[in-house]
Structure 1
Amino acid sequence: MEKVKEITVRLVKVVLSRIFIVGVILALQVGWMILFLVKLSEYSAMISALFNIISALAVLYIINKQDNPAYKLAWVVPILLFPLLGGLLYASMGNKQPSRRLRAKLDAEYNKMNPSLEQSAEVLEELEKSNKQVALQSRYIHKVTNFPIYKNTTAKYYKSGEDNYPDMLQELRKAKHYIFLEYFIIDEGKMWDQILEILVEKVKQGVEVRLIYDDFGCLRTLPYPYYQKMERLGIKCFAFNPYIPIFSVVMNHRDHRKILVIDGHTAFTGGINLADEYINHIERFGYWKDAGIMLKGEAVWNFTVMFLQMWNAMRPTDEDISVFKPHIHFDEVFESDGYVQPYGDTPLDQEVVGENVYLNLINGATRYIYMYTPYLIIDNEMMTALCLAAKKGVDVRIVTPGIPDKKYVFWLTQSYYSQLVQNGVKIYEYQPGFIHAKCFVCDDEVATVGTINMDYRSLYLHFECGVFLYQSNVVKQVKEDAMEVFSVSKRITEKDCHRRLPMRLIQAILRLFAPLM
Structure 2
Amino acid sequence: MQKKQFQQNMKDKVRVFEDGGIRLLKRGQKGVVHAIFSRFGLVLVLLLLQAFALFSLLQWFGELLPHYFGGTLLVTAAMMVYLLNQDMDNSVRITWLVVTALMPVLGVPLFWYTKSDVGHNALKRRLLDLEGQTRAQLPQNEQTVELLQEQAPEAMPLARYLRGKGGGFPVYADTVATYFNGGEAMFDEMLRQLETAKKYIFLEYFIVDEGLMWGRILEVLARKAAQGVDVRVMYDGTCEFSTLPRDYPSRLEALGIQCKVFSPVTPFVSTHYNYRDHRKILVIDGQVGFTGGVNLADEYINHIEKYGRWKDSALMLEGEGVHSMTALFLQMWSILCQPEFEQFLSDPIPAAANAKGFVVPYGDCPLDGERVGEMVYMDMLNRARKYVHIITPYLILDGELETALRFAAERGVDVHLILPGKPDKWFVYALAKTHYKALISSGVKISEWQPGFTHAKIVIADGVEAVAGTINLDYRSLYHHFENAVWMRGTDCIANMEADFQDTLTRCRRVERTKESIWQGKKLLHLAGILLKFIAPLV
TM-score class, shorter: over 0.9
Aligned with residue 150 of structure 2, among 116, 126, 129:
129
Aligned match of 1:308: 330
Partners of 1:131 and 1:487 in 2: CA distance: 32
Alignment pair present for 1:169 and 2:191: yes
Aligned with residue 293 of structure 1, among 315, 319, 331:
315
Aligned match of 2:374: 355
Structure 1: which 5+ runs fail to align? 1-7
Please list the CA deviations of residues 402-426 of structure 1 after superposition, one character each: whole Å capped at 9, or x if unmatched. Answer: 1100111111111111111121111
Alignment pair present for 1:70 and 2:118: no
The amino acid that maps onto 2:411 is K
Please list the CA deviations of residues 284-336 of structure 1 after superposition, one character each: whole Å capped at 9, or x if unmatched. Answer: 00011110000000000001111111111222252x52543463xx6676542
Deviation of 1:38 (Å): 2.5
Residues 54-453 of structure 1 mapped to structure 2, 5 A cutoff: 57-94=78-115, 99-144=120-165, 145-318=167-340, 321-325=342-346, 327=348, 334-453=353-472
Alignment pair present for 1:508 and 2:530: yes
4+ residue runs over 6 A deviation: 44-52
Please tell me whether the aligned partners of residues 54 and 88 of structure 1 are also in contact (alpha carbons under 8 angstroms): no
Residues 36-47 of structure 1 mapped to structure 2, 5 A cutoff: 36-42=57-63
DSSP-derived class of the 1:197 partner: helix
DSSP-derived class of the 1:224 partner: coil
Partners of 1:277 and 1:176 in 2: CA distance: 30
Partners of 2:413 and 2:178 in 1: CA distance: 27
The amino acid that maps onto 1:270 is G
DSSP-derived class of the 2:412 partner: coil
Please tell me whether the aligned partners of residues 156 and 295 of structure 1 are also in contact (alpha carbons under 8 angstroms): yes
Of residues 195-204 and 209-218 in structure 1, the stretch that sits farther from structure 2 once superposed is 209-218
- Cα distance change on mapping 1:55 and 1:182 into 2, 3 Å: farther
Aligned match of 2:16: none
Structure 2: which 5+ runs fail to align? 1-28
Of residues 286-295 and 303-312 in structure 1, the stretch that sits farther from structure 2 once superposed is 303-312
Please list the CA deviations of residues 206-252 of structure 1 after superposition, one character each: whole Å capped at 9, or x if unmatched. Answer: 11111111102452000013222222222111111112132222221
Partners of 1:312 and 1:502 in 2: CA distance: 46
- Cα distance change on mapping 1:305 and 1:482 into 2, 3 Å: same
Aligned-residue RMSD, C-alpha: 2.2
The amino acid that maps onto 2:377 is Y
- Cα distance change on mapping 1:412 and 1:217 into 2, 3 Å: farther
- Cα distance change on mapping 1:366 and 1:333 into 2, 3 Å: closer
DSSP-derived class of the 2:164 partner: helix
- Cα distance change on mapping 1:494 and 1:332 into 2, 3 Å: closer
- Cα distance change on mapping 1:311 and 1:280 into 2, 3 Å: same
Please tell me whether the aligned partners of residues 381 and 404 of structure 2 are also in contact (alpha carbons under 8 angstroms): yes
Of residues 391-400 and 236-245 in structure 1, the stretch that sits farther from structure 2 once superposed is 236-245
Deviation of 1:386 (Å): 1.1
Aligned match of 1:3: none
Partners of 2:31 and 2:215 in 1: CA distance: 23
DSSP-derived class of the 2:277 partner: coil
DSSP-derived class of the 1:398 partner: strand
Alignment pair present for 1:490 and 2:494: no
Deviation of 1:90 (Å): 2.0
Of residues 262-271 and 123-132 in structure 1, the stretch that sits farther from structure 2 once superposed is 123-132
Aligned match of 2:15: none
Partners of 1:240 and 1:350 in 2: CA distance: 20
Deviation of 1:110 (Å): 1.5
Deviation of 1:78 (Å): 1.6
DSSP-derived class of the 2:242 partner: coil
DSSP-derived class of the 1:463 partner: strand
Please tell me whether the aligned partners of residues 55 and 83 of structure 1 are also in contact (alpha carbons under 8 angstroms): yes
- Cα distance change on mapping 1:323 and 1:213 into 2, 3 Å: closer
Aligned match of 1:32: 53
DSSP-derived class of the 2:306 partner: coil
DSSP-derived class of the 2:233 partner: strand
Partners of 1:9 and 1:140 in 2: CA distance: 46
Partners of 2:433 and 2:476 in 1: CA distance: 18
The amino acid that maps onto 1:120 is N
Residue identity over aligned pairs, in percent, reads: 39
- Cα distance change on mapping 1:44 and 1:234 into 2, 3 Å: same
Deviation of 1:45 (Å): 6.2
Question: Structure 1 length as normaliser, TM-score?
Answer: 0.93
Aligned residues: 507
- Cα distance change on mapping 1:10 and 1:117 into 2, 3 Å: closer
Please tell me whether the aligned partners of residues 318 and 352 of structure 2 are also in contact (alpha carbons under 8 angstroms): no
Question: Structure 2 length as normaliser, TM-score?
Answer: 0.89
- Cα distance change on mapping 1:394 and 1:337 into 2, 3 Å: same
Deviation of 1:115 (Å): 1.1
- Cα distance change on mapping 1:364 and 1:326 into 2, 3 Å: farther
Please tell me whether the aligned partners of residues 213 and 239 of structure 1 are also in contact (alpha carbons under 8 angstroms): yes
Of residues 367-376 and 122-131 in structure 1, the stretch that sits farther from structure 2 once superposed is 122-131
